[in-house]
Structure formats: structure tokens, C-alpha cells
Structure 1
Amino acid sequence: MQTVAVFTDTYLPTVNGVTYTIETWRDYWCARGGRMPVVYPGSDGYRPAPDEHPVSSLPFPFYPGFRLGRPRIPSAISEADPDVVHTHTPFALGLAGRRLATRADLPLVASYHTPASEYAEYISDHLSGPLRRIAERYERWFFRQADAVVVPSRAAAAQVPDGGTPVHVVSNGVDTDLFQPSSEAAVAAFRDRHDIPEGPLVGYTGRHGHEKRLEELLTATRGIEATLVVGGDGPARSELERAAAARDDVVFLGFLDRSELPTFYTALDAFGFPSPVETQGLVALEAIACGTPVVAADGAALSETVVDGETGYHFEPGNVDGLTAAIRRALADRQRLSERCLSRRDALSVERSIDALENVYDTVVNSDARRLVR
């Protein structure tokens, strides 16, 4: 098993799909006998684990929770004598990873988790158009430097600005040892602990970003005989709480510890996911692994992450009436959908993802056609 030096601009204690994927992949890679040191922006709120290497950083003023790390290569990374460099973001520390690959003549693998252009509006509404174009050109330039690009879905493969670099689809995968149905007793204790009323539950957990369109979930659940339970945090949270202030059928849980998530998913009768911009939608996979059907926008990767009529239902992105109808349908069909979700657990396992990732690393290490455009 190779030593893979990972560089990322987002990591713990920031909670999102990228950080969870990196942490899970590292744990499983190391369990197989490999090594995966991680370089990330340091924060006072997180104590690094072994082989995690923080660099000095500053808060990013336009996006809460995101930090700009100094683009440096810790000496411990060079001393680890890596076989491969893997960047999970293309910005400051992604550039540091690219520099290490160039300097040490190592293969460079780059993951495409989130299109940078989607976040242009966080910097400026008026300049979002030009900023999107700049972001797309920059990403194309960055991925052109890599020997392989890793994407989590076929939909992401179709939209990644790869610059001609070979693209490999590797699902983020789910830790199915953790994400499995919880007992009735655990669900009852969870509901008591968070003061969640009896009756059907529709829910969401994850980052509260404006691009997630969670306000549509608030609107769609009006009139449905179910409580909407929302976990997580993010830039849009305060707006969502204000919008739901007069309602007694919406419960905001705030940040949930990862150990609570399987019980949260199990407690739900349907998971609502109106975001049209996902490159995979890790929380949808986690919900499915716990036997909870997902109602998702029929757009981007969620069109393939959720199998219509099998693991949930789709609706046309932006169609709130369609979202309401899909939620009602999922609630009525909950038992059958749950059984179908559980039958797909093995296919979602992160073990399969690590198998595919190992194949990518072997390919670039053994390739005679190393990219020469760096």
C-alpha cells in the first residue's frame, strides 16, 4: 500500500462531506496498511490526530467556517516519502500539493468534490457571473496539471473541467459499520433528548448553505402531517430559523455529533434534499444506508444517488409543489422504500470506494505517461 500525501483546504473541525470523506478514506486506507498524512488549515478548535499536519491559517471573510491555509509543505510530509500526492481542493493547499508533486516528481491525483463556481455569490452577488467564469477557468487549469481526477459520481464526471486529464468515478462511500439502522429504544431516547414530538418525521442534516435551497423544504412541508427536523449549521441557518419562527412543526437541532447521525436518520420517515448542485450527496447515501428513503432534486448527482421508486423519489428542481408531492409519496411508501434502501447497503460501502481508489493510485504510480504540463 502506498503512502499518499493529502492536501485539503477544508478539514476538521469544519463539518462537511469533504472533511468526512477524507477522514473516512484515511482511516480505511491506514487499516489496510497504507499511510495517508493530511495537510490542512489549522484551527484552535481542533487537536490534530497522528499524521494530521495543520498549517497556519486565517478565516476566509466571505464564507464562515472556511479558512485560508498558508500554502506550505510541512517537513513531515517530505520526510514521509510519499508515493502519490492527492489534493481534495484546488486552492491554497491544493497548490502546495501540486508544488510537492512537481518538486518530487510524484504523480498528482486531484479530487473534484464541489464546483468552486457555485460559491461565487458568497463573495459578491453583483460579480457572481464573472467570478464563476474565473473559477471555472482556474479549475480547468488546476485539473490539467493532475495525472488523474477523481469524482464521486457520473454526473460530476460530466461537469468537471478536467482539461483533458483522465477522470475516474470513485464514490465517497459510506461507513456501513457506523451507518446502519438504530434500535427503537435508541430512536425513542433521541426523540426525548431533542424534544421531538410524536408522529412522522421529515428531516435534513448537513451544511446550511444557500445553494442547498433548504427554504424550499420549509415551504414544502407546510400542511404535511409531519414534523420537519433540521440538523446541522451553516451560513443560511439564521435565515431559515427566522422563516420558521412562527411554526410549531419545525425543530432545529443544530450541529449533531457524528455518532448521533445513524439514530437521526433512522428516526426519520423521509430525508428531504432539495439541493440541485450536489456532486454526490453524502448525507443521502448515509440516510439510505440507515433504511431511510430520500426525496431529492432530480438534478446533478442526486439523479443517480437516489434511485426513483427504489431508495426514494425525485422532483423537478425548484418545483416546491413537486417536492411536497414527493414527500407525501415517500411517507405513504415508507416501509417498502426502507426495505429497498437496506438491500443496497453493500453497494454503498466505503470498502468498495477504497478498492477503486487503490486502483487509481496504482494506475498513476505505474503509468509511463506522466503529465508534463506542470
Structure 2
Amino acid sequence: MKIAFFTETFLPKVDGIVTRLTKTIPHLIEAGDEVLVFCPEGAPKEFLGAKVTGVPAMPLPLYPELKLGLPGPATSEALEQFQPDLIHVVNPAVLGLGGIWLAKTNGIPLLASYHTHLPKYLEHYGMGMLEPLLWELLKAAHNQAILNLCTSTAMVSELSEKGIQNTALWQRGVDTDLFRPNLRNESMRKRLLGKYEDEGELLIYVGRLSAEKQIERIKPVLEALPKSRLALVGDGPYRQQLEKIFENTATTFVGYLEGEELASAYASGDAFLFPSSTETLGLVLLEAMAAGCPVVGANKGGIPDIITNGENGCLYDPDGTNGGADSLIQATKIILGNDLERQGMRKAARQEAERWGWSGATNQLRDYYKQVLEDSDKLAA
């Protein structure tokens, strides 16, 4: 098959969508598929056998890390030259809408996938009143596709309820060869602790430092556990605000890590806290679990698909008392409270992660592609 991706985010940016794409593409190439990626400019021109075409882009005012690609005649020409069997629009916004238009005008079968819960992000940027309008725009875009993939059962249900048709689950994936428990080491632990002594539990967070991630919810946990330390791994537009929020706490801002350094960071923590209640899946949770780090996540969105409460991690109620703080503190205490139980959770977390390799997720995706091509042929007949 010849597949053209239109994605609003790609390398060198680091996020869950980029991780999924960069893990999926090599498996597609290995299966004999040809891949062309359209993404905002700044990416390499080739990625592990896939061609990459950068599109002129402008930073989003509220979120300068995210660039909005503006497709033009060169995009259309590159697509015509490639002659794809199918177009896959990832998280359609501006560039994705261009992909939808090109699919429709050229009669190319279209599949879309939903990764970022943008309507729920709006309230964190003071624009909650626009949520109904955004759902209408998303519905209009996604309903152009023959199939719409979601990364969790909760999102399949929510999108269906909002009027988005033909939804299906695109299963999770994680690199269990890279993220593994034996990378736990004292050198990385010291780096995560920064200037603070290793007197208690080391809590870690990995991901974008942005408002919708609700990272400030971890502060009451530090106050409730005075000897605990926090390492924030990642960067983003909310970093300066977070530095002020966590100013008088034992918190280290580590910045971006990747590869084995990132895997070692997960493995070297005592608990992974992920307070966000807007996640469609939460790939970082799977990475932490693969590294054998017990996890705490919100009982909302796609996270309950990953965490079985009390077995391989703990769920907290983000809508509970004190903005969910009491529940997050209690869940963290459960994970940290008993060393024997924590070791059991580490083992169970790793076992859960081992069920979800990228190869299986990509085989499932290829089956969806074949289904879309077959459905397209039926519609054309």
C-alpha cells in the first residue's frame, strides 16, 4: 500500500502523536508499504524509509510549540506525484483539513485518527465557551472519513456520542525493549533529584509542561509527603508558571530526555504521577509501566484502559474534593506505602506493558487500511 499521512505534529517535536507515528512508520515500511508524511516544516526530509514533506507553518499563538501547517500547491503536487492508495489524517486541524480536501477532490480513500482531546483543552486556556463550536468543526472534519480511529475505548464512545461516525479503536503500543526496569540506576536518580537529598520518595512526571496537563495538582502531594521529591521531565509553554508554583518545593526541572536516558528516568523513579484528566490515552503511562515504575493516573478519558486500579497502578478522582488533590494524595500514598505491594505493582505494570507491542498495533492499523480500501471500492461500485 501507498499511504500518505497528514499530521499537525512531527519531528523534531516530542509528544504522544509523534511517538506513535515514529513507531508505526518503520513497521509499515517493513511490511512493504510506501509512506509519505506531510507535516509542518522543520522535520527531516526522510525518516526510516518514509519520505517527509515539510509544509510552511506558523506557531499557534497560545501554544508556540505547535505549528499550524498551511498546505499550498506544492503539497498538491507532491501528493499527485506519490499517487497514494489512501490518506491518513492524524488529528485534523489546519494541515489535516488540507489533507481531507485533497482526498475528496482526488477521490482518494480517507481515514482519520483522533489523538488530542482539544475540546477539553479549551477550558484550561480560558475558552471553554467555544467547546460546542469546536465539536461541530471536528464532527464536520471527521465525518468526511470512511473510518475514524481513537486510541481508547472512552474516546470511541465519546466521539460516537458527539455524532462522529464510523469510529474504531486503534490499540495502544509501547517499546518494551527500550523501556525496561533494569535501567534503574543511582546516577540517573541523582540527576532527577538535582540539588535535593535522597531522603524519601522520588516522584516523576514526563510530558509536555502545558496548562491542560494539570501538573500543579502534584504540589499538594509534595506537601502531604514532606520527604518526597519531584522530577519534571519535559518542557513546554507552562514551564515558567510551574517554576513559580513549585518554587518552595523539592522539585527539579529536568528538561527533555530521550532514548535510554528517558527510559532510565522512568525506571529510577518510585512513582509516576500523571494528573491530566484530558488524555485520550497517555502513552507516557505505558512507558512508565514498561520501565517498572508504579503509576497514578486520572480515572477519566483513556487512562482506565491502561491502569487496573490497585493492580498495576492507582487511579485518582480528578473531580474529587480540593480539585482532586485529596484523591491524588491517597492514590500516591497507596503506591508508596508498602514496599512489597509496590514491587508487586511494578511487576504487574511491566506485564501489562508487555502485552502491547508496536508491531501488533501496526498490524491492526494495516487491517484498518485494507478495510477502508475495500469500503471505498464498494462505495465506488
Q: Common fold, TM-score beyond 0.5?
A: yes
Q: Do the aligned partners of 1:204 and 1:273 also contact (CA within 8 Å) in 2?
A: yes
- Change beyond 3 A, Cα 1:99–1:371: farther
Aligned CA-pair RMSD: 2.0
Q: CA deviation at 1:370?
A: 6.2
Asked if the contact 2:11/2:18 (under 8 Å) is kept, the reply is yes
Question: Which of 314, 328, 343 is the equivalent residue of 2:351?
Answer: 343
Structure 2 partner of 1:35? 34
Structure 1 residues 302 and 194, CA gap change in structure 2 (3 angstroms)? closer
Matches of 1:64 and 1:35, distance apart in 2: 32
Check the 8 A contact 1:63/1:122 in 2, yes or no.
Answer: no
Sort the Cα spacing of 1:59 and 1:163 in 2 relative to 1 into closer, same or farther, 3 A. Answer: same
Please give the secondary structure, in 1, of the residue aligned with 2:63.
coil
Q: Which moved more, 1:216-225 or 1:310-319?
A: 216-225
Asked if 2 retains the 8 angstrom alpha-carbon contact of 1:270 and 1:334, the reply is: no
Letter in 2 for 1:80: F
Q: Which residue of 2 aligns with 1:100?
A: 102
Q: Distance in 2 between matches of 1:9 and 1:83?
A: 21
Asked if the contact 1:146/1:371 (under 8 Å) is kept, the reply is: no
- Would you say 1:330 and 2:338 are equivalent positions? no
Show CA shifts across 1:158-190 (max 9, x none).
Answer: 112574531110124112222222334xx2222
SS at match of 1:313: strand
Q: Following the alignment from structure 1 to structure 2, what is the Cα–Cα distance between the partners of residues 361 and 36?
A: 13
Alpha-carbon contact 2:193-2:229 (below 8 Å) kept: no
Give the secondary structure class of the aligned counterpart of 2:84.
coil
TM-aligned CA deviation for residue 371 of structure 1: 6.7
Contact 1:5 1:38 survives alignment (8 Å): yes
- 1:6 corresponds in structure 2 to 5
Relative distance call for 1:163 and 1:194 in structure 2 (3 A) is closer
1:75 equivalent in structure 2: 77
- Long gaps (5+) in structure 2: none
Q: Is it true that 1:286 corresponds to 2:287 in the alignment?
A: yes
The alpha-carbon deviation at position 223 of structure 1 amounts to: 3.3
Aligned partner (choices 229, 233, 236) of residue 235 of structure 2: 233
Between the aligned partners of 1:344 and 1:330, the Cα distance in structure 2 is 17
**What's the CA shift for 1:80?**
2.0
Give the 5 Å matches for 1:283-322.
283-317=284-318, 318-322=323-327
1-structure distance, mates of 2:123, 2:176: 36
- The alpha-carbon deviation at position 122 of structure 1 amounts to 6.5
Distance in 2 separating the partners of 1:222 and 1:371: 60
User: 362-371 or 144-153, which moves further after superposition?
Assistant: 362-371
Secondary structure of 2:149's aligned partner: strand
Which of 121, 128, 132 is the matching residue for 1:119? 121
Deviates more, 1:230-239 or 1:68-77: 68-77
- 8 Å Cα contact 1:8/1:94 also seen in 2: yes
Shift in CA distance, 226/155, structure 1 to aligned 2, threshold 3 Å:
same
Q: CA deviation at 1:193?
A: 4.1
Cα deviations across residues 182-204 of structure 1 (Å, max 9, x unaligned)?
334xx222234455442431111
Distance 1:15 1:371, change over 3 A: farther
Q: Distance in 1 between matches of 2:64 and 2:164?
A: 33
The corresponding residue for 2:45 is: 48
Corresponding residue SS for 2:44: coil
Distance in 1, matches of 2:133 and 2:259, equals: 35
Q: Provide the rounded CA distance (Å) in 2 between the counterparts of 1:55 and 1:75.
A: 12
Figure out how many residues of one structure are paired with residues of the other and give that number. Answer: 363
Residue 369 of structure 1 deviates from its aligned partner by 6.8
Contact 1:289-1:348 at 8 Å conserved across structures: no
Give the aligned partner of residue 204 of structure 1: 205
Q: Distance in 2 between matches of 1:158 and 1:202?
A: 32
Compared with structure 1, are the counterparts of its residues 321 and 120 closer, same or farther at alpha carbon in structure 2 (3 Å cutoff)? Answer: closer
Decide whether aligned partners of structure 1 residues 122 and 313 sit closer, same or farther in structure 2, where only a CA change above 3 A counts.
Answer: closer
2-side partners of 1:164 and 1:256: how far apart?
A: 36
Letter of the 1:102 counterpart:
K
Letter in 2 for 1:325: Q
Q: Could you tell me which of 342, 365, 370 is aligned with 2:373?
A: 365
TM-score normalised to the size of structure 1?
0.91
1:155-194 matched pairs, under 5 angstroms: 155-160=154-159, 163=163, 165-184=165-184, 187-194=185-192
In terms of fraction of residues, the more helix-rich structure is 2
- Greater alpha carbon shift after TM alignment, 140-149 vs 158-167: 158-167
In structure 1, distance between residues paired with 2:353 and 2:117: 28
Task: Tell me the TM-score normalized by structure 2.
Answer: 0.89
